[in-house]
Amino acid sequence: MNSQVVTNPEDIARLYRELSLFPSLSRADVGPVVTSQYGGKYSNIYTEWSQRDLDRNENVNFCRQYIVFHDDKSVVYSGASGNCTEIKGELQSKDSPSGDMKAVVRECTIKGEDKQFLEIWSKNIKMKSINLTALKKHGKVYEDDQFGCLVWSHSETHLLYVAERKRPTAKSFFQSESPELSSIGDEEETMRSEEKETVKGEQFVFHEDWGEGLVGKSRPVLCVLDIEGDNVSVLEGVPDNISPGQAFWAPGDTGVVFIGWLHEPFRCGLKFCPNRSSSLYYVDLTGGKCEQLTSGTSAVSSPRLSPDQCRIVYLECAVFGPHMQCSRLCMFDWYTKKTSVVVDVVNRPGEDGFTGIYSSQLSRQCWSADSQRVIVSCPQRSRKDLLMVDISTGSVTSLTSKSDVGSWCLLNIERDLMVVSCSSPNCPPRLRLGFLPPRDSQEELVWVTLEDSQMLPEIDWQILTFTPPPEQDNSEYPGLDFEALLIKPKEVKDGVKLPLIVTPHGGPHSVFVADWFLYSSVLCRMGFAVLMVNYRGSTGYGQDNILSLPGNVGTQDVKDVQFAVESVLKGDEFDMQKVAVSGGSHGGFLACHLIGQYPGFYKACVSRNPVTNLASMIGSTDIPDWCMVEAGFDYTTDCLPDPAVWEQMLNKSPIRYVTQVQTPVLLTLGEDDKRVPSKQGIEYYRALQAKKVPVRLLWYPGNNHSLSKVDAESDGFMNIALWIIQHLWK
């Protein structure tokens, strides 16, 4: 049979290099309004991007600024001001509210030692550079999205950030006193006090951290720099049993509002897990008095203060249960101290098509200028839309559902000027701007493109909907449908049938939105069709859809994927003999299940850090609750191993079907994966070797669950492509 697939490794690498050039947007800040000497008003927009540099083997971050002339509701002229500049060593940065100053947390290596500085810039001068490492008030500054923040006080006199709590230096009982102490030197006094702070016998004490992606982050503390006084203090009053983060200044700078995650009796992984017990707190600056502002019976995140400083919106979901669920958008009234639900959980989408809020994070700025509306970007079925929520009525209006762009992401909104990144499977991220129309107005939202990107006309994509056959309907949650994204080459030569790569997502409560995907676009340019399946249990389709899966993993999700594949194969576009399956994590669990439950159907399988045995994973993962919940059991932190539960977990795992596998398997594993430890993949690898099924294992040191370091990602791609080619054309 004819084929139009690119098989030469050099050509594949060329395509990968070409498409990996497209950068993604990570941040956009809107500066204050400036009135020019001619009376026109303009604002500067600062953007940050990230791009893979295959030659340097790292992701490079760079910034670009734009100037936007506007009146109060439309953009009059916009353009880039200058070229891109690479950002080096900046962990965090933030302009002050007036735009007059900028704060930077910088990391650099001096004489072989890592140091962190907090810099204050004003005009063209670096006014201050405070050596945080030398101050020894705290450990490393947190730069992550989970806890980290760098926030100017409203008065612009103080900065708030999060860092690891200071730990006394531990030394051995057998380490001799520093001989220098006996001689008189400049630093004698400092060394003496440091010596006093060291503790013996604590060198090897285990410090539990917050798991995957948050390694080494254990006891965060809230830190404040008094800029004038050059003084850093660690805020007192935060309860001992919580880890604070996502902090900001309270109205009037009287104190700090933050999220506190309960870290007792032990920490579970937080990344992709917004279902951890947490509350909103306020700590008073003067007396260190700490108040809990929300009930403490749920999981909350992303608190955002309104421009009028009267309300805080935040996301809320249940503790434990599925890791990603439909969230509530809640509000705390600063003056009445009352909380309310603005948008509730959507069990089943209604006539208006709104499927609920699925987001673990609101954009850093999300409020309209009138403090009456909040903009949320989140999955709605297989698209990511911008939703406008009216806080008084709770009504939700999609600002983007009519567009043919698949994914919209809010980077910032300031004085109603929205800055967004939008993309589709055939279009890498673009930077756009648009003014939010006034409340109750019928005005159309007009988007202006600030930075365009090249469309890839060779790539075609569509969203397919599937209704499971009656025997696969879920009796507890009947009538649910699901979707898949089909990405395929636009031009297919006469007589050519396309090979198909089936990709179920991980999670399992996650979703493929019609976004730009590097792997899928390269595979498509090589001549493959890619079917990305949002089986029942995915986010973005209503809470019932999510709840239908726990307890049914290994059956309902597997059958949905197989049903989608077989439905697609009924058309005559695809080659039934050339179907491969590839997935990561829970997607890897599904890939392994599919080759075990449908022996010989798939001609090649690729599995990244797969869950292969829930029963053996529970004792070693950072999310033990996930193993029980997905197997259909409730989780409590004090539950002990139960043979009946373990039996169920084993029975629902791919390892149970390994004896039926005929498909050659490529395993890609990250040595430092805390989420699905590499031993899961190794367990499966050994079982396949014993059965003499072709298997290849790629081992990526220094990589965690995502295998996203530049060399692991590019090497992984080449090996995946070549493995599939090798076994589809055998």
Tokens encoding 590: 């599904």
CA 288 – CA 261 distance, rounded (Å): 19
CA 243 – CA 230 distance, rounded (Å): 26
Active site residues: 585, 673, 705
Instruction: Give the C-alpha distances (Å, rounded to integers) separating 245 from 86, 543, 609.
Output: 28, 28, 29
- In the stretch 426-465, what mask flags binding to ligand LAAZK34X with x, by CB under 6 A? ----------------------------------------
For residue 596, what are the contacts with CB-CB under 8 A and spacing of at least 6?
654, 656, 657, 658, 660, 661
Residue with tokens 């302009």: 95
DSSP state of 141: B
CA 691 – CA 693 distance, rounded (Å): 6
- Grouping H, G, I as helix, E, B as strand and the rest as coil, residue 632 is coil
- Does position 46 interact with ligand LAAZK34X (CB under 6 A)? The reply is no
Question: Which residue of 378, 591, 676, 720 would you call a contact of ligand LAAZK34X, by CB under 6 A?
Answer: 676
Q: Which is nearer to ligand LAAZK34X, 468 or 507 (CB)?
A: 507
Number of other residues whose CB lies within 10 A of the CB of residue 593 = 30
What's the min distance (Å) between Cβ of 268 and ligand LAAZK34X?
Answer: 10
CB 362 within 8 Å of CB 315: yes
- Does position 652 interact with ligand LAAZK34X (CB under 6 A)? The reply is no
- Does position 268 interact with ligand LAAZK34X (CB under 6 A)? The reply is no
Q: Which is nearer to ligand LAAZK34X, 416 or 713 (CB)?
A: 713
CB 575 within 8 Å of CB 1: yes
Number of other residues whose CB lies within 10 A of the CB of residue 194 = 14
Residue with tokens 């979703």: 511
Question: Which residue of 49, 626, 633, 717 would you call a contact of ligand LAAZK34X, by CB under 6 A?
Answer: 626
Q: Give residues 501-530 in contact with ligand LAAZK34X (rule: CB under 6 A).
A: 506-507, 510
Nearest residue to ligand LAAZK34X, by Cβ distance, number only: 506
- Does position 356 interact with ligand LAAZK34X (CB under 6 A)? The reply is no
Number of other residues whose CB lies within 10 A of the CB of residue 251 = 16
CA 570 – CA 439 distance, rounded (Å): 48
HSE-up of residue 396 (Cα within 13 Å, Cβ side): 26
What's the min distance (Å) between Cβ of 705 and ligand LAAZK34X?
Answer: 5
- Does position 705 interact with ligand LAAZK34X (CB under 6 A)? The reply is yes
- Does position 272 interact with ligand LAAZK34X (CB under 6 A)? The reply is yes
Name the CA dihedral angle for 552, 556, 558, 561, rounded to a multiple of 10 degrees: -150
Q: Which is nearer to ligand LAAZK34X, 386 or 581 (CB)?
A: 581
- Does position 270 interact with ligand LAAZK34X (CB under 6 A)? The reply is no
Q: Which is nearer to ligand LAAZK34X, 274 or 425 (CB)?
A: 274
Strand partners, 530: 487, 501
- Does position 586 interact with ligand LAAZK34X (CB under 6 A)? The reply is yes
Question: Which residue of 450, 594, 611, 661 would you call a contact of ligand LAAZK34X, by CB under 6 A?
Answer: 611
What's the min distance (Å) between Cβ of 578 and ligand LAAZK34X?
Answer: 25
- In the stretch 532-571, what mask flags binding to ligand LAAZK34X with x, by CB under 6 A? ----------------------------------------
CB 73 within 8 Å of CB 57: no
CA 490 – CA 478 distance, rounded (Å): 36
Binding span for ligand LAAZK34X by CB under 6 A among 193-201, 463-471, 565-573, 582-590: 582-590
Q: What angle do CA 16, 51, 79 make, to 5 degrees?
A: 120
What's the min distance (Å) between Cβ of 346 and ligand LAAZK34X?
Answer: 21
Q: Give residues 311-340 in contact with ligand LAAZK34X (rule: CB under 6 A).
A: 323
Q: Which is nearer to ligand LAAZK34X, 459 or 623 (CB)?
A: 623
What's the min distance (Å) between Cβ of 588 and ligand LAAZK34X?
Answer: 8
Phi, psi of 597 (to 5 degrees): -90, -20
Give the residues lining the site for ligand LAAZK34X (CB under 6 A): 272-273, 323, 506-507, 510, 584-586, 611, 623, 626, 675-676, 705
